[in-house]
Amino acid sequence: MAQPTVAKMLKRLAVDGYIQQRRYRGVFLTDIGKQLAEQSRERHHIVESFLCAIGISIETARIDAEGIEHHVSPETLEAFKRFVTRTIAFS
């Protein structure tokens, strides 16, 4: 990303309440930012686990999950989660 693009994104995240920027100290997640980050990690984990459960290699699953997690509906994500939970239970 170009420097102006990064600066614009950081400003947007700050305005939306996800980060705090501290001059000479850096960028820090707010509580709501931490919550969003955790939700994103969970989505990624569910998609990656589902892909692995259907036989995709971990390397490919990690790469593919990066794209899929941003577009998968809540309904589909829940179905992935149920599938993974059942698959683990029967392993």
Domains of the chain and any CATH numbers? 3-89 (1.10.60.10)
| pLDDT class of 87 with cuts at 50, 70, 90 | confident
Cα dihedral sign for 8, 11, 13, 15?
negative
For position 91, what pLDDT does the model report? 65
The Cβ of residue 46 has, within 10 Å, a number of other Cβ atoms equal to 22
For position 89, what pLDDT does the model report? 75
Phi, psi (5° rounding) for residue 55?
Answer: 100, 10
pLDDT of 20-46, one tens digit each?
A: 999 999 999 999 999 999 999 999 999
For position 90, what pLDDT does the model report? 74
Q: Count Cβ neighbours within 10 Å for each residue of 3-35 and write b for 16 or more, e otherwise.
A: eeeeeeeeeebeeeebbeeeeeeeeeeeeebee
**Is 0.85 topped by the overall pTM?**
no
Q: Is it the case that residue 2 has pLDDT exceeding 70? A: no
